[in-house]
A and B are shown apart, each in its own frame.
Chain A
Amino acid sequence: ELKVEQNPLFLSMQEGKNYTIYCNYSTTSDRLYWYRQDPGKSLESLFVLLSNGAVKQEGRLMASLDTKARLSTLHITAAVHDLSATYFCAVVRGADGLTFGKGTHLIIQP
């Protein structure tokens, strides 16, 4: 059974600081996704990572994938309040649907 673990599950940080969210998964996977969810809203796709060593960046967010370690990271640089949200990583194997982690609830305080 494919399992996805994120840590931390809750993170409160100050604007301007850097931090990293970690995502571990239990078996080999075809693709890894990062999603953002605002309260009461649906999921917004941030990144799709396909291969070992893949790195993608968008604004203050950068995601990377190490398939050998079964680990992905989402790094936040110089955080701003607008990045406050819940961030999910999700993994897919074969033709199945996505298996999500429990999410990291991120609060960025001024």
Chain B
Amino acid sequence: DTGVSQNPRHKITKRGQNVTFRCDPISEHNRLYWYRQTLGQGPEFLTYFQNEAQLEKSRLLSDRFSAERPKGSFSTLEIQRTEQGDSAMYLCASSLVSKEAFFGQGTRLTVV
């Protein structure tokens, strides 16, 4: 499978715990995006990378959210001190510059 891969697919965590999600983009894509989707809404842009550089992070929802793409390949999204309001689907997408983005299957986070 050469599409965008996200792990885990589902995560249940207790409030206050830290969680980390991984995204493996399509191999030749140099752009990688993170989105959050809550029930009944469209995806909300969080941040993106071009290669290893994080070019936009002002849309991250709070300072509890951070993302990395250390070698310009896979990326991780970390949420520290999770809250119930963080429960959502977290989607990763990748693309070439100015080209169509392809989405992964998402990681569904439930904070209890």
Query: Which A residues contact B (CB, under 8 angstroms)?
Result: 4, 30-31, 33, 35, 41-45, 48, 88, 90, 95-103
The answer on a CB contact under 8 Å between B41 and A98 is no
Question: Smallest Cβ distance from A62 to chain B, in angstroms?
Answer: 18
Q: Is B96 an interface residue (CB 8 A)?
A: no
Asked whether, in the complex, the Cβ of B105 is within 8 Å of the Cβ of A98, the reply is: no
Distance of B34 from chain A, by nearest CB (Å) = 8
Determine if B45 and A99 form an interchain contact, defined as CB atoms under 8 angstroms apart: yes
Q: How far is the CA of A48 from the CA of B103 in the complex (A)?
A: 15
Q: With A43-B91, A97-B35 in contact, is A102–B100 under 8 Å at CB?
A: no
B54-93 vs A, CB cutoff 8 Å, 1 = contact: the mask equals 0110010000000000000000000000000000000100
- A98 pairs with B100, CB closer than 8 A: no
A103 touches B42 (CB 8 A): yes
Residues of B within 8 Å of A41, CB to CB, are 105
Q: Is B106 positioned at the interface, with any CB of A under 8 Å from its CB? A: yes
Known: A42-B91, A43-B91, A95-B56. A101 touches B104 (CB 8 A): no
B48 touches A102 (CB 8 A): no
The number of A-B residue pairs with CB atoms under 8 Å apart is: 53
Report B-chain residues with C-beta under 8 Å of the C-beta of A98: 33, 35, 43, 45, 101
Q: Is the CB of B56 within 8 A of A96?
A: yes
Q: For B52, what are the chain A residues with a Cβ–Cβ distance below 8 Å?
A: none
Pairs across A and B, CB under 8 Å, 7 listed: A35-B103, A42-B91, A42-B103, A45-B101, A99-B45, A102-B42, A103-B41
A43 to B100, CA, bound (A): 12
Q: Bound state CA distance, A99 and B101, in angstroms?
A: 13
A33: chain B residues at CB < 8 Å are 100-101
Partner of A102, one of B41, B101, B105: B41
